[in-house]
């Protein structure tokens, strides 16, 4: 069983979108997947509920309870954790202690980048991050390719001690699909495949664990 944590203290960075897409990709690939929803907003849980009738359904688990690990069924192959917005490293210790990889989405704005610095510093104090046991990957999210703002943001992120493991372009498709309980990985059109390609570096990085 692999556990992937998606976390960022800054709200509105697309954390739940990334968590649900990682869960959907694994489920479509035939894995038994649990999505641990630790965000009080419960968006990931509602996504799972909308998806319940599909062959690639994802089981939601309430991550706000300390006993969340007891509710993960035997045979689960992938656990994706959607961390609560606003949580810093100290508040995420229960997840950091068990995660195999940590994905940090960051949007290309000065406000988002500045807000992420303190979050990453709080993560770096955790023993598993500090000694390299828990890998941390940054995801540039909602990028507008070839714009100066996005390129400048990526240049900043690439100078940080954690690697940029994916660059996801901005698209309204994510909003629509999340509302339907679906993901890019549930479709096979040419347009969708172009967006799916954005995810391949992240998926390859996660599979190295």
Q: How far apart are alpha carbons 159 and 162 in whole angstroms?
A: 8
For residue 184, give the nearest of 42, 108, 194, 4 by alpha carbon.
194
**pLDDT-derived band at 129, boundaries 50, 70, 90:** very high
The enclosing domain of 26 has a CATH number of 3.40.50.300
Contact 5, 103 (CB under 8 A): yes
- Which tokens is 5 given? 């944590």
Give CA separation, 95 vs 17, 100, 116, 149, 150, in Å: 19, 10, 18, 33, 30
Q: Long-range CB contacts (< 8 A, 24+ apart) of 27-33?
A: 27/56, 27/57, 27/58, 27/78, 28/56, 28/183, 28/185, 28/186, 31/77, 31/78, 32/59, 32/73, 32/75, 32/76, 32/77, 32/78, 33/58, 33/59, 33/76, 33/77, 33/78, 33/79, 33/80
Nearest to 185 by CA among 51, 60, 49: 51
Q: Name the residue with higher pLDDT: 127 or 151.
A: 127
Spatial distance between the Cα atoms of 18 and 36, rounded to a whole number of angstroms: 13
How far CA 170 is from CA of 31, 83, 117, 167, in Å, comes to 28, 22, 22, 10
Are 99 and 83 a contacting pair, CB within 8 Å?
A: no
What pLDDT, in 10s, does the model give residues 70-104?
Answer: 999 999 999 999 999 888 989 999 999 999 999 99
Count of structural domains within the chain? 1
3-class secondary structure, 105: strand
* Portion of the chain with pLDDT greater than 70, in percent: 100
The per-residue pLDDT for 206 is: 96
pLDDT in tens, 179-194: 899 999 999 888 888 8
The Cβ of residue 162 has, within 10 Å, a number of other Cβ atoms equal to 16
Q: What is the mean predicted confidence (pLDDT) over 27-46?
A: 96
Q: Is the pLDDT of residue 50 over 90?
A: yes
pLDDT score recorded for residue 13:
83
Under a CB-based contact definition with an 8 Å cutoff, are residues 32 and 78 in contact? yes
Model confidence at 121, in pLDDT bands (50, 70, 90)?
very high
Q: Domain span at residue 163? A: 2-207
The rounded mean pLDDT for the chain is 92
């Amino acid at each position: 069983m692999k556990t992937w944590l998606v976390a960022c203290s800054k709200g509105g960075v697309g954390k739940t979108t990334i968590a649900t897409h990682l869960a959907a990709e694994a489920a479509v690939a035939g894995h038994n997947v649990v999505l641990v929803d630790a965000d009080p907003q419960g968006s990931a849980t509602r996504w799972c509920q909308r998806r319940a009738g599909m062959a690639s359904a994802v089981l939601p688990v309430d991550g706000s309870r300390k006993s969340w690990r007891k509710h993960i069924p035997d045979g689960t192959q992938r656990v994706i954790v959607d961390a609560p917005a606003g949580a810093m490293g100290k508040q995420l210790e229960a997840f950091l202690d068990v995660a195999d990889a940590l994905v940090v989405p960051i949007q290309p704005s000065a406000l988002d980048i500045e807000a992420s610095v303190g979050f990453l510093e709080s993560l770096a104090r955790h023993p598993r991050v500090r000694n390299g046991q828990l890998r941390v990957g940054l995801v540039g999210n909602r990028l507008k390719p070839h714009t100066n703002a996005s390129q400048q943001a990526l240049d900043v992120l690439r100078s940080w001690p954690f690697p940029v493991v994916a660059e996801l372009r901005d698209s309204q498709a994510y909003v629509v699909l999340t509302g339907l309980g679906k993901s890019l990985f549930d479709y096979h059109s040419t347009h969708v495949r172009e967006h799916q390609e954005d995810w391949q570096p992240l998926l390859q990085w996660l599979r190295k664990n």
